[in-house]
Amino acid sequence: MRLEQEFIKLNENTVELLSNKGSILAEKYGKISEALVCYNNALEINPDYVNALIGKGSCLATFGETKTAILFYNEALKIDPRNVDALIGKG
């Protein structure tokens, strides 16, 4: 059981690191394509990770894929209905 708990914790940390890396790439360096890869990788591990859903939505919106971006903001809002970033992103 302990090994399973450590594996879950490692995955949670990995998801957070990937999402944070995506945020830095997009917001600080304007590397939207690279950020999108990070968010996709985070969502492969945990499809319900709100920050990665919002980050992916933001990247998609930057590429002009507004309808798809809104889908990701909506997914984030299903998990965290009061998330300000998702609400702002959704418009």
For 9-41, write each residue's pLDDT tens digit.
656 679 999 999 999 999 999 999 999 999 999
Q: What's the pLDDT tens digit per position in 39-74? A: 999 999 999 999 999 999 999 999 999 999 999 999
pLDDT value, residue 4:
58
pTM (predicted TM-score): 0.88
Q: Is the pLDDT of residue 86 over 60?
A: yes
Q: Which domains does the chain carry? A: 2-90 (1.25.40.10)
pLDDT greater than 70 at residue 3: no
Which pLDDT value is given to residue 67? Answer: 97
How far is it, in rounded angstroms, from Cα 2 to Cα 25? 34
Distance CA 60, CA 53 (A): 11
Distance CA 16, CA 42 (A): 8
